[in-house]
Structure 1
């Protein structure tokens, strides 16, 4: 399967501003099922310089800088990808991985490198019992993770929410709804409440049934020794397969935005964005 992805971001400013350096997380991450056939990045105004870098968590990004004032910043990323079939269940866990468990403990070799991904940032007494219910009804890790994301998909309504930021865990348990980024944050807190390292993923998710309405999507990866990072989508109740194209992964959602940057000058800015994903027929 070949996919064509066009991602347009447009920032308009109330008055002309000077743009400080910007970081653009618009490069698909290395995955065995993704081959980049073509990649075009068009930026207006034309940057003085552009370079590809890698951040502290291993995410590739473009760093761009400017030398002129502007009332608008337009970033258009165009990708053509070849996508191979990928079985997200095809892995073997290390023999040290024990199931069932009350609180998961990683082998010493992983402890330091996973510390940030285990830290629980929201505490709620409903988190661990909810996860424990899925553990009690499962026979192994695959059935547990499958049931957990299916239960979240069943118990929470997936909504489109344009407001910035994240809903709190307390709000989500109260309202029983959330956007893809909210539900991903909820799943992360659930997994961390029982000791499982997890991270937030932002990228593209291709739905062949959609003609339009594609947006950036959020999902979760959990780390299990032997398997590495395993993708989970609580919004749809699925393991992440070849239709998921990650751009950035982090212990915290704020580190996975597609564009970071500031400007000098007065007035406010306004962002509009559009993502179009189409299958290219041979």
Structure 2
């Protein structure tokens, strides 16, 4: 499936400000699941320096450095991408040992993806409880656990868009019984980690059969499954990620894959406004 994605972000400030370092996470991955054929990045005002970087997960990031002052910052990206059909997980289900707990001790690179989301590395008690429920009656198979867990999350939490603020903890999401896509992605990630399944937070786009009034950036979870590698699951959407999704970046922390991170120098009570638009054709 070939798509063109145009993503525009505009920050307006009530008086001129001095822009400090900014990081952009808006370049889609290019791999076997999604092939990026063209990417264009436009920035106004033009930074005096752009540093391309690779994150610890291998995602493309751009570091921007500015001089002078401005009333606004505009970022526009254009991506031409083709998504491919994902292999069926159940097709090879019996060819690998998918019993829980997963045997990942020999892969040191995955250890960081099973730590708790709390600052001290502990798991959220609410995530532990729902993980125990999801384990009931599934014969400890990781795929059965994931599908059962997503059913439980959809039953307990109503997906509700929320544009402002960081992702909630699992405990708050389950207590409120509503959550944005990033809240649900954190809940799924944290619950998987409770049972030793490596998982990470992903930002990206989801295509709709019928285009919405306004596309928004989406979020989901990727888990590492022996024999299959990293595979995406969307607790606020269709479950298993397919060719209707385009991943931008992933991390253990949702704030590290924000489309734009940075700061500016100005009065403490300065008002700013964000406008965004995503076109997918």
TM > 0.5: yes
Contact 2:30 2:36 in 1 (8 A): no
Hey, what's the Cα distance between the residues in 1 that align with 2:155 and 2:142? 20
* Pairing 1:269–2:272 present: yes
Instruction: State the Cα distance separating 1:60 from its structure 2 match.
Output: 0.8
| Structure 1: gaps spanning 5 or more residues | none
TM-score normalised according to structure 1 size: 0.88
What are the equivalent positions in structure 2 for 1:56-205 lying under 5 Å apart?
56-89=56-89, 92=92, 97-99=97-99, 101=100, 104-110=101-107, 112-122=108-118, 123-139=123-139, 140-205=141-206
SS in 1 for 2:255: helix
Instruction: State the Cα distance separating 1:128 from its structure 2 match.
Output: 2.9
126 and 61 in structure 1: CA distance in 2 versus 1, 3 angstrom threshold: closer
| Structure 2: gaps spanning 5 or more residues | none
Contact 2:28 2:79 in 1 (8 A): no
**Greater displacement, 188-197 / 204-213:** 204-213
Hey, what's the Cα distance between the residues in 2 that align with 1:250 and 1:145? 20
13 and 155 in structure 1: CA distance in 2 versus 1, 3 angstrom threshold: same
Hey, what's the Cα distance between the residues in 2 that align with 1:165 and 1:215? 16
SS in 2 for 1:39: strand
Instruction: Give the alignment's Cα RMSD to 1 decimal.
Output: 2.2
Instruction: State the Cα distance separating 1:194 from its structure 2 match.
Output: 1.2
**Greater displacement, 244-253 / 206-215:** 206-215
- Give per-residue Cα distances to partners, 1:24-80, cap 9 Å, x unaligned: 111111231322232221111122232321123322112222223111000011112
SS in 1 for 2:5: strand
Aligned residues: 274
157 and 52 in structure 1: CA distance in 2 versus 1, 3 angstrom threshold: same
